[in-house]
Structure formats: structure tokens, C-alpha cells
Structure 1
Amino acid sequence: MARRLTQQDIARMAGVSQTTVSLVLNNRAGNGVRISLETRERVLRVIRETGYIADPAARRLAEGRNRILGVFTYEAVFPATSADFYHPFLVGIEECAEEAGCDLLLFTSARVSGRRRIFHEDSRVRLADGCVLLGRTVDRDDLARLIADQIPFVSVGRRDDAGGPVPYVGADYPAATCALVERAARLGHRRLVYVGTGEGAESTADRFTGFLAAVTGLGVESVRVRPDRPGLLDAVRATEATAAFFEEQADAVVFMRAAAERGLAVPEDLSVVTLGSATRPVHTDIDFAGFLIPRREMGRRAVELLTKVLETGGAPQELLPCELIEGSTLIGR
């Protein structure tokens, strides 16, 4: 078996010191050491010609990092098809991690009392330099411990404080929902029904917050109906609303099927608006009025913010705008 090349071998072939090779590999300058472009290129040429691969352990010691970013998911998201709600997030995370020269480590084994948890007796979260958290709901005890233990992380999705500010990149659900209510009002809708819980996860609460702010500001009448109540179609119709705003698109699809069976025409008899993509598996080709969640960009930005946390610390928080969709299910009255 051929002997593994070392930095000493590269230094000898390039006619430089081992320190110079190390500085070139780590793309840094030493104390008072300046490396000419000619010398740097000579070292890089030898590395390319020999196919030398730096010892990852040595690089970790030099940089103080593993160049490994963890991804912890509170829901099962792997493998994910292109139709899966989490797929665009994962695509964005992978793309940005590759550009940053980092590997991804997917944490999946932490299950405590039937629920996934970051911390348990065999937790390996510290194998990674930092971690991206993904899931509709995130355990607040996990967040509090991540903050208390000063473990670098960024949440995909806005999170309330948990013993301190939580670093996150989320979607601006209040602004997007507000814009859709304003559109409905401009089209002449004066009584709206919100179909959803409006509570629980921050993403859910944010949608309802935007809805309430808009109807209050516009003086539009509104009522809320829970999506899990029996006879949802009759309950929505009983509100006498002319437009229904669905918190979960999958519920809107089920509603539309029931409406078609009963002869209720959408949007002629009732306009329907959905507040984001379906988080539950559902097949539909309905061109809903609503908005698109910037899932891929959120994944990318989460990695970018995590590298920022690793470099400078802090708890950056960003909300990205959602793209409004005109669709065919919202018309004027």
C-alpha cells in the first residue's frame, strides 16, 4: 500500500517549509509571515498534481472546527421527495453548506419518550460545529439548553425567546397574511372566516396575528372556525363569510372536495385563500390564491447565519418575505 503523503512531503517537493504549506492549506498568514503569490501557486500546483488531501484532524486543530454542520429535525424528513414540505429547506441547506466547504451531519437518533429531542444520554450534537434546527415545533427546553450551553445553532422558523434570544430565519407570515386580507377587502369582501387554530407553533400564531391585525385595521368582520370540527363545510357556510382563509392548505383541499360534492362553487359562491404550502401530504392541482413560503432561501440563509454565529456569536434574527400568488380561487364580490 502506498504511503500517505504528508505536509512534509508537499513542502519538500515545493521547496518550502512545512509551515508555509500549512498556511497555504488553511488560507491564512502566520505572525509576520507573508507568502508571495508565486510561492502559494507553487504549493497549490504540487497539491493538485499529487492529489494530496489534508489530514482533517490536523485541519480541525488548526482551525478549531470540524467543518461539519448538524441538521436536527423534529419531524421525519429523510428521505424527502421533491413534493415533501421539507424538501426545499433541505436543498437550500445542502447548497449553502457545500458552498461554505462544510459537510452535513443529520441527527436522527435522539428519541426520548416517543419524541425527538436534541439532548439525551447519548447525544452527539457536539460532533458538529453548529446545528440547524428544522421542524414546525421546536422543544423549548432544547432551545433553552442550547442557549445556556452556548452551542451555536440557528432555527429555521421564528422562535420565541427561550431564556434568551433565539437565532432564526423565518418567513414573514404576518405581512403576507395581512396583504392577502387587504386584497380580499379591495375585492369587496367584508366578512371573512379564518379556518385554523391560530395558536401553538410560532408560524401558526404569526399567520393569525397578521389576519387579526388586517381585519381590525380595515374594519372587516371576521370569525374563526377550527379545521378539525365536525361538519366543517356547514360550519364555514354558517358564518356567512364570502372568503375563507385556510391556515393549512391540506385542509383547504379537503374542504374544496367536500364543496364540490355539495355543489358549492369556488370562488363564485365562496372565495378560498391558503396561507402557505401544504405541510401534510396532499395531492392537488388547484391554483389557490395565497402565498409561497421561501423555503429554499430559508434553508440557505440558515446556514449563512450559522456561519456568522460561529464567527462572531450573537443571535441574528431574520424574516424573509413571502411571494404572493394571485391564483384563481379569490374573486371580487
Structure 2
Amino acid sequence: MSAATSPRTAPHGDTFRQGMMFVVALAFLTAIGLVLPHGDSGEAFRDWLLTQMLFCVVIIALWIVVIVEGLLGLFFSSDAWSARLKRLLLTSLLPPLRMITASSKPRGWLWLPGIGWRPAGEETSDKLEQKLALPMVVLTLLVLPVLGAELTGGETLENHPRLALATHLTTCVIWIGFTAEFLWMVAAAPDKLAYCLKNWINLVIILLPLAAFLRVLNAFRFTRMLRAGKLLRAYRLRGLWTRLWRLALLFNLLERLQKRDPAKYCAVLEKKITDLEEQLADLRTKLAEQRSKTVAE
């Protein structure tokens, strides 16, 4: 195994390029976040943004930069061509993945802003979780003023355009932060599927606005063919997704706050263990009874 790919030897150089591409990928993610429907607020701003030629040009330019840099990275990597082409395909289809997938990175390594190259695994995952814990709690707390603004300004905030815009931008920041954190943590996790299953609520927070956006596009595309009743149901469904997103954020906030207080979190974990032990004892009793009946028969 070469030094470039050895898990004991950190890669050198490319700091400027990795930093630049991190900014490009984050800018692309931000642009996507701005046009996603995070609620009933900000609809006018999103509609205006989508009609701006400059915004479309910026999106396309960022996308091209990711693809071109990925193509160039094919010739700077030292691993198998199948792995290089897979990275190129992933980052070309989903440019935000360029934050965690360097086009010429050695396998098993992750580049983090302000930290540099780190080997993916449990140690890096734990350190990253500790560094992101407080910022993510603060970010999640932003859901409280969002809820307050929606209650104060009404469900759609139609009569409060500035408040609606501020609410939309705040929810954008929350979504972008959750998406970036999730990508970093998945990249650092030793078992990526286990991490996704354990943190399913974060995945829900990321995917719900995307699902609502696709629903909105579908409604616009078939507006002339849909009846008013169907449009109304589509709008109500979008409202349902919005409420589910808020509930997911509140659930996540409670979980994070519990983790910030070790004593309370230990108490919660102990209660869960006690409940599971009681369920296990009950199952064993039922199993013993069933076996007794089987032997008697």
C-alpha cells in the first residue's frame, strides 16, 4: 500500500484547492437552500430569485466548476480508476458532496475546514461531533424565533413581507447547517448506514424541504390540468410537511439539549435501559410459558 493511501500517513498539500472547492460546494448548497420551501414564508422571495438570470448563472457556474475540477482530479489521484470515476459521478450529480469528497483524496481520508486531513473513523467522528455540538445546539435554537414569528405574523405572513423574508432566511440557515453537519458526520462515521439509522431525525429535517420542493414544482407544471381541489390538497400537503419539519427540529433540539447536560442525559439513557430490560424480561416469561405449553402438548 502506498504512502498516499496508507491510513497512517496523512496526505499533504492541496489545502488551497480543497478550501476553494469547499467554498464552492457550500455556495451551491446555500443557493439550493434559498429556493427550497421551508414553510409558507418567503414564497415571494423564492419566486423572485428563481426568475433572476444572475442566480441561474451562478448555479450553473458553480456546477461547472465542480465538474471541471473533478475531471482534473482524475489525473491527480492514486487509487483505482473505478473509485475516481465514482467520486466524479457523485460530485457531478450532487455538487454539495464535494465538501466531503475530494476529487483526488486518498481513500479513508476526510478534509475538514480549519482542521485539515483526518482519517475517517470513530476517533474523527467523536472529535467532529464534540466540535459541532454547541454550534448545532445554537443553530437548532433558531427554530424558536421562527415559530414565534409565524405565530405573530400569521400562518402565511402575507402582511409581513420583511418578517416573512427573515423567517425564510433563518430556516435556510438551519437547513444548510443540518445538511453540512450530516454530510461531515456521515463521511467521518466508520459505519455510515448505522449513523443514518441512528440519526434518522436529521435525515428527515434535510429531506422534507426537498420533498416539498418537488411537490411545488409538480404543482406548477400541471397547474392547468389540475382542478382547484387538487391544488388545495397539494397546498395542504406542503403545510403538513412544513409542520413535520418543525416538529422534527423541536425533537432534535430536545435530544441535543439532553446531550449537553450529561447528568440528565444519563438519567434518560438509564430509563431507556430499564424499560428495555423490563420488555426483555416480559418476552422471556412469555417464551418460557410457550415452551411449557409445547412440552405439555
Between Structure 1 and Structure 2, which shows a larger proportion of helix residues? 2
Q: Pick the structure with greater CA Rg.
A: 1
The reply to whether TM is greater than 0.5 is: no
The two structures have a TM-score, normalised by structure 1, of 0.25
